[in-house]
Each structure stands twice: as C-alpha cells, then as structure tokens.
C-alpha cells in the first residue's frame, strides 16, 4: 500500500509516517516546512519506502506515481502558528484541500482529512458530539483556523457526494507527545518548557477552562483505524477524560519537580471554555478508546523535552 501524507513533517504527521513505515508501507510526504521540521523525518530519509517532497500543497496539482490513500494533515495547527500565518492557514485548508481532493479523485484514492475539535468553537453543548454544528465566531482571530477547517470538511463531503470519492474526516481533539515545539502556544508543551526552566507557568483566564488530552500513540491508532473503514462522516478522536488547565499545570509542575509559580493572563478572544469529545462513535465504529493515562503520557513527553533540552 502507498500513502501520501501532506504535512508529514509536523507533529502528528511525522508520527503517522513512522507508524506506516514500520508496517512496510510506501510513504510520500509533501510538506513546505512552514511549521513542520525536517528533523521529525530525518531518521526515515534513508528508508527505501520513503519519499519527501518539499512543496506547498496549494501549488501541487498532480502526483505522478500511483497511490492508494491521501491523508491531508497540512495546516498550521497551534495558536501561535495560525495567528502568525492566517492567510496561509486559510489557503491550505481551501486551495490546498481542493488540490489534494482532485489529486485523490484522479488516482481513485481514498482521502482522509485531519479536522479538529475547533470546528465546535466555544461549544454550547458538553461533551461535543459529531452532529453538533458548533458555536464559532467567524470574526475572531481564531476563525482563520476554525472556519478553514469547517470549510475543508464541506469540501470533502462535497467531493464524496458529487464524485463518490471515498473519504473520511477525523476531528482531532487536544493531542500531546514527543516532537511538539516548546513555545508554539499549545498548553502542554508550553507548561512543560517553562516548568523545566523553573519559569512562571502561563495560565490564561482563571484556569478553570477544561481540555481533554490524548497521547500521540493513542491518536495514531485512532486515525489508522478510521482510515481503514468505509465511513465518510466526521469521527471525534480524543480522550474524554476532562481536566482544567490549572489541574494540568499543577500536575506538570509536580512531575517536573518544579518551583514555578503560576502566572495568570487574560483569556484570548473566543478561547473555548470547555472541550471534551463524545467518542461513542469511535468506540462503535473503530473499537477505539485511549489507553494512555495523562500522567503516564506526560512522564514520556517531559523525558523527551529534557533530553532535547527544548
């Protein structure tokens, strides 16, 4: 089997590359390295089943060799990144998604979209189910990401209905693990980076907003299972175990044996107050649920950050 992975130099994308190469699949990565890193792939560069194309998917309109599946993971995903690259974010999820869908259609390949829990915005229902259409402020700075992913889902479903293209959509909730960048605006690596250096831990708002944290190995397993079934509608993937940001900060502080104080800061515009996936559909369709407990996963990523000195 041959799989094309856009954004394969990113956090989740590079772990997918490892997963499939270990299964002896052929992998082609397309990434322009805007937010991804070649370091995430360097251990695979000599693999005969691996090909790395440095390109912007917004400019890619054809892939010469045949393939079976296209997994579209290209997109700035952290708050700092999509706020720094707002137009690039909107373009990759519109023009880039359209280009990749056309390529998949031309090759009669299955298409998998990496969507996000951010399509739910600041949700008015809890936990979030796939049939909830969300509460997104399209005028907020965050909308460059939220609305772009929503539009990408619409594109995918349109190709599915119009051309009968085999498609899948995974709505990814907060995921953490090795290869995250220390200061990209995501809460887990930011808190760990500061705790290791005994610097103040930034807490936005009063820290009572909740998140659900899924370890990367669990997420990769969920994405792989979603890729293998014939189901076109979105599937939530995430850990339904809910924690406040303040609870997370206190746990990270304990695991890092840090004396860092808490530094409370204003809550960003349209920042979700609650985030928890309903994974009933993933359990039913994929026989999947997260296995790694939060403390267990945090120990692994803290060890990685200490070794990388990041």
Q: How many CB atoms lie within 10 A of CB 48?
A: 6
Query: DSSP states of 224-287 as a string?
Result: HHHHTS---SEEEES---EEEHHHHHHHHHHHTT--PPEEEEPPPTT--S---B--HHHHHHH-
For residue 25, give the 3-state DSSP assignment.
Answer: coil
Neighbours of 276 (CB within 10 A): 22
- Nearest CA among 78, 90, 74 for reference residue 33: 74
Residue 85 bears catalytic tag:
no
Q: How far apart are CA 189 and CA 261, in angstroms?
A: 17
What distance in Å separates the CA atoms of residue 120 and residue 292, rounded to the nearest whole number? 25
3-state secondary structure of 152: helix
Q: 């515009």: which residue's tokens?
A: 269
Helix 11-22 to helix 216-227 angle (10° resolution) is 70
20, 145, 176, 215: the active-site residue: 145
The dihedral through the CA atoms of 173, 299, 223, 284 has a sign that is negative
Among 270, 240, 239, which residue's Cα sits nearest to residue 137? 270
Query: Which is nearest to 170 in space by CA: 73, 271, 284, 43?
Result: 73
Which residues are marked as active site? 145
């Amino acid at each position: 089997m041959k799989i094309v992975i856009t954004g394969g130099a990113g956090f989740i994308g590079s772990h997918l590359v490892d997963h499939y190469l270990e299964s002896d699949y052929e992998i082609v990565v397309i990434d322009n390295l805007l937010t991804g890193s070649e370091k995430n792939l360097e251990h695979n560069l000599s693999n005969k089943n691996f090909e790395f194309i440095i390109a912007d998917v917004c400019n890619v309109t054809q892939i010469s060799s045949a393939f079976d599946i296209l997994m579209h993971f290209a997109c700035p995903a952290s708050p700092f990144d999509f706020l720094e690259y707002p137009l690039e974010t909107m373009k990759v999820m519109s023009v880039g998604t359209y280009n990749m869908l056309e390529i998949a259609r031309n090759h009669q390949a299955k298409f998998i979209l990496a969507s996000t829990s951010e399509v739910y915005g600041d949700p008015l229902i809890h936990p979030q189910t796939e049939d909830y259409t969300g509460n997104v402020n399209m005028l907020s700075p965050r909308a460059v990401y939220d609305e772009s992913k929503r539009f990408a889902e619409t594109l995918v479903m349109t190709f599915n209905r119009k051309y009968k293209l085999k498609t899948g959509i995974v709505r990814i909730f907060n995921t953490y693990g090795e290869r995250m960048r220390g200061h990209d605006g995501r809460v887990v690596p930011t808190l760990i980076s500061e705790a290791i250096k005994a610097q103040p831990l930034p807490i936005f708002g009063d820290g009572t907003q909740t998140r659900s944290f899924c370890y990367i190995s669990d997420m990769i397993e969920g994405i792989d299972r979603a890729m293998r079934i014939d189901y076109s509608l979105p599937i939530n993937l995430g850990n339904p175990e809910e924690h406040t940001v303040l609870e997370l900060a206190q746990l990270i502080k304990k695991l890092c044996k840090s004396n860092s104080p808490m530094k409370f800061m204003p809550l960003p515009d349209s920042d979700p107050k609650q985030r928890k996936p309903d994974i009933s559909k993933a359990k039913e369709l994929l026989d999947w649920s997260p296995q790694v407990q939060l403390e267990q996963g945090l120990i692994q990523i803290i060890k990685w950050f200490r070794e990388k000195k990041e």
